[in-house]
Amino acid sequence: MNGGGYALAVTVFLACAVEAVEALTIVLAAGTSRGWRSTLQGMVAALATLAVVVAVLGPAVQFVPLTVLRVVVGALLLTFGLQWLRKAVLRGSGYKALHDEAAAYEREIAAAATASTGGRGSVHDWYAFTLSFKGIFLEGLEVVFIVVTFGANQHNVPVAALGAALAVLAVALLGVAVRAPLARVPENTMKFVVGVMLTSFGIFWSSEGAGVSWPHADAALLVLVPAVAVVGIATVFLLGRIRAAALRAAEVSQ
């Protein structure tokens, strides 16, 4: 596996791990507060729906010209990556509260406790079913998008699928073991890393689609990714200094 292959596998693994942690939080909240039967029914229904999406979306992507695919996907990755990177930078510099998976779990528990009861057909608890279905389907859809687009662009769907499968499996096993949200997982750090990787791939692929020829092909990512990371870390440091100075000035004025 070359440098681009390793970068692909790591990016897909981290991005899918973040999505899996968020899905796990929703499923655990539904299962522990409302019951596991309807929750598992919703999870199975969501996975079946995702399988249909993959069966349709996967082959369809192959018919899109590679240059068009790289421009479109590169632009989307830049959008997603910069959004993740922006939030991570704001959290790292203190301008935005850190994401707390335990707090998100408690919010889901509170919402589930006050929701109405009742079922439909073979589903005993419709709220638990729909909560689990939406959590798995929406987060899973992002995983599918990551695997299909990254794999198609790099002509290496197996590596992308392997990275996603390992991420989902690792999070699922941890969730079963602790039966609690993975609050200790450094999700904010992971989001910063994923933001850097998505932004780097977005720059790389959109440029390739526009006709840019990168030196040493995929190996250029080994320089591009650290460069984006340095810019992100420097921005965190600079904004942190600005915020600290503003707080000191506010204290003096009081």
Q: What does residue 148 show for φ and ψ, rounded to 5 degrees? A: -65, -50
Kindly report the pTM of this predicted structure. 0.61
**For residue 81, is pLDDT > 70?**
yes
Confidence at 119, pLDDT banded by 50, 70, 90: low
Q: Are 93 and 245 in contact (CB under 8 A)?
A: no
Question: Radius of gyration of the chain from Cα atoms?
Answer: 21
Residue 21 buriedness (CB in 10 A; 0-12 / 13-18 / 19+): buried
The residue assigned the tokens 């039966």 is 179
Q: How far apart are CA 231 and CA 137, in angstroms?
A: 34
Of 227, 172, 133, 148, the residue nearest 17 (C-alpha): 172
Percent of the chain past pLDDT 90, that is, above it, reads 5
Q: Which residues of 203-242 are buried (b: 16+ CB within 10 A; e: fewer)?
A: bbbbbbbeeeeeeeebebbeebbeebbeebeebbeebeee
Confidence at 224, pLDDT banded by 50, 70, 90: confident
Q: Are 71 and 206 in contact (CB under 8 A)?
A: yes
Q: 185 is written with which tokens?
A: 């997982």
Helices 36-61, 3-34: axis angle to 10 degrees equals 150
Q: How far apart are CA 243 and CA 53, in angstroms?
A: 45
pLDDT at 146: 80
- The per-residue pLDDT for range 149-176, each reduced to its tens digit, is 777 766 677 788 888 888 888 888 877 7
**For residue 183, is pLDDT > 60?**
no
Amino acid at 156: N
**For residue 3, is pLDDT > 60?**
no
The domain segmentation of the chain, as residue ranges, is 3-253
Confidence at 8, pLDDT banded by 50, 70, 90: confident
